[in-house]
Structure 1
Amino acid sequence: MRMFSALNLLMLSVSYGATLKICSFNIQSFGENKISKPEVVDVIIQCIARCDIMLIMEIKDGRELAFPQLMTKLNSRYSSRRNEYNFVISDRLGRKSYKEQYAFIYRKRLVSVRDVYQYPDLQTGDEDVFAREPFVVWFSSPRTEVKDFVIIPIHTVPEAAVREIDELFDVFEEVQQRWTSENFIIMGDFNAACGYVPKSQWNNIRLRSDSSFLWLTDDSVDTTVKQSTNCAYDRVVLHGERMIQAIKPSSTEVFDFKTEYGLTEQQALAVSDHFPLGFTMGSVQRRGRRN
């Protein structure tokens, strides 16, 4: 009996949470034109369904009709009692007439949204740095070891990539003061390669020079569809000890839907010029107290 109890205590002293696959996808110029093409929508839906949280970028739909149609198609294909998708979406963001939206699609049974915050980009003396200000979302994840985390998304303007990536440090600090979460993911289309961020500029980017941030994606990863390009545009950056422990760098993947679904380059480019980028938040081992 004593041995049985000891074994049970040992088993209880180590517990593991569920895993969560988190992704980002710049669906180039997503709007009514793309949603009208079944073969394109089919690929987009399959990409989304691979993930538990999917950040969608470059929603460019002035009438705001395409994204609701995408959600209807997604839920009609994959929804069940155990698998149903919900979303949060930003206002249309941008300067003058050019506007985009960020959206997060997530599995309701795994995560929920605690709060959202549209970064105002109004710092005194440093106003209007971002063309598309981050739409920040605080997620609750009761089934994983990291119970809550914040995602800061970004789609930079290529020509302003260095300044916008650096300014994400200020966004992080403001959100950290605003909310109590210690777990942060900064992700999206940074345009952080191919001439937009010269090597000489990396030391001037606080998000890179501050050692408390972990970059899951290095400068050699290729997130572009065209065979003629090799650019690490899309990135993932982590902050928070627990968050960093929960994600293995080896889980980071660029999902090549062109190869996976047997598409030509032209067919793949009809979907997007970016591949989705994803990673898995695993469980953090918890050890009980030894006597």
Structure 2
Amino acid sequence: MPCSHFTFIFIINWVAAESLRVGSFNIQVFGQKKVENGKVLRYIVQILKRYDLVVILEIRDKQGTALNKLLQELNQQSNEPYASYVSEALGRTKSKEQYGVLYKQVQLISKLALSHFQVFPDPYDKYERPPMGFIVHIKQKGFPDFGWIAVHLDPDSVEAELNALYETAENFRKKNKLDDVLLAGDMNAGCRYLSKRKMRELSLIKDTHYYWLINDECDTTVHSNNCALDRMIAYGAKLKSAIKGQRGRAYRYDNELNLDSETAKAISDHYPVEVEMEKITKESSSVARTNSFENSTTILVATMIVNSLRLW
């Protein structure tokens, strides 16, 4: 598949900000049906207003107007106007999906910009739908620039696509000379889709430069099962230092908005996953280095134990 590469610069309003909340949200089969449901649309807007930058997954809209309708409603409800970007429709089957990005626009002074939007080339057909990437430029002291890779992986090919994602991330950061990269989206990286044994063998686990911000105990699904399907993975010391607590979380909107089960499931079967970014301080940088060392040590010890058992 040819690389679809855009170099337009999108500017976000972020004047004198001390923090930035970014997230990824699989809004299950997002299309005309959801934007035409006033109640569901209002709650989706209420969720999205929390973010300075959010990537939306699983847009299925043949008419191509659902994201614009969402954007209009979002701007009516928000004090800070949002703009959007949407990818081409992707997928091997007739049920194709798009990635969407919503972000706060500039008013007076540019503090943050998005550039180099692209759908990654997939000449060997490794993905059901290739990931989308872009670069986040933060123009305020104390915050790093970083690349962003958005993904929605095939639940039937999780292991193979996660290993392909490692190659994509490595090529992306090297080509663009990026010190920091964030991988985020519905990776189906848990429960019946990916065993603990197979997960330990992933390149994204073995390469300890990649730090998993959403752990296995974080339930990212609205249903009663406890599965960490949606993930955020950070590469780079500066990015890890800027992430509050060096951890992400799932925004459990049913609890936060006091929704009944039927309403919550009408919105999506996934929770958004998110991180909050803060200015890097000496203390946060030190904590990130310590956590990175502990993460690497834990994985190394686990690998040694597994190898010892195999030899035994």
Q: What pairs up with 1:138-157 in 2 under 5 angstroms?
A: 138-143=135-140, 145-157=142-154
SS at match of 1:195: helix
For residue 117 of structure 1, what is the amino acid of its counterpart? Answer: Q
Q: Do structure 1's residue 77 and structure 2's residue 77 form an aligned pair? A: yes
Root-mean-square deviation (Å): 1.7
Q: What pairs up with 1:70-109 in 2 under 5 angstroms?
A: 70-79=70-79, 83-109=80-106
Q: What pairs up with 1:36-75 in 2 under 5 angstroms?
A: 36-75=36-75
**Residue 251 of structure 1, CA deviation:** 5.2
Distance (whole Å) between structure 2 residues aligned to residue 135 and residue 219 of structure 1? 24
Partner residue in 2 for 1:247: 243
Distance (whole Å) between structure 2 residues aligned to residue 99 and residue 258 of structure 1? 28
Q: Which TM-score applies when normalising by structure 2?
A: 0.81
**Residue 72 of structure 1, CA deviation:** 0.9
Which deviates more, 108-117 or 18-27? 108-117
User: For the pair shown, which has the larger CA radius of gyration, 1 or 2?
Assistant: 1
Partner residue in 2 for 1:190: 187
Distance (whole Å) between structure 2 residues aligned to residue 36 and residue 143 of structure 1? 39
For residue 111 of structure 1, what is the amino acid of its counterpart? Answer: L
Q: 2:168 aligns with which of 171, 191, 197?
A: 171
Partner residue in 2 for 1:276: 272
**Residue 40 of structure 1, CA deviation:** 0.4
For residue 118 of structure 1, what is the amino acid of its counterpart? Answer: V
Are the aligned partners of 2:144 and 2:239 in contact in 1 as well (CA < 8 Å)? no
For residue 36 of structure 1, what is the amino acid of its counterpart? Answer: E
For residue 214 of structure 1, what is the amino acid of its counterpart? Answer: Y
Distance (whole Å) between structure 2 residues aligned to residue 160 and residue 28 of structure 1? 19
Q: Which TM-score applies when normalising by structure 1?
A: 0.86
Identity of aligned residues (%): 30
**Residue 99 of structure 1, CA deviation:** 0.3
Distance (whole Å) between structure 2 residues aligned to residue 194 and residue 221 of structure 1? 12
Q: Do structure 1's residue 115 and structure 2's residue 116 form an aligned pair? A: yes
Distance (whole Å) between structure 2 residues aligned to residue 138 and residue 189 of structure 1? 20
Distance (whole Å) between structure 2 residues aligned to residue 115 and residue 55 of structure 1? 15
Are the aligned partners of 1:151 and 1:185 in contact in 2 as well (CA < 8 Å)? yes
Partner residue in 2 for 1:232: 228
Are the aligned partners of 1:202 and 1:209 in contact in 2 as well (CA < 8 Å)? no
Partner residue in 2 for 1:210: 207
Distance (whole Å) between structure 2 residues aligned to residue 154 and residue 269 of structure 1? 22
5+ residue gaps, structure 2? 1-15, 284-312
SS at match of 2:92: coil
Question: Which of 1 and 2 has higher RCO (CA within 8 Å, sep 6+)?
Answer: 1
Cα deviation 1:7-40 (Å, max 9, x = unaligned): xxxxxxxxx9721111111000000000001110
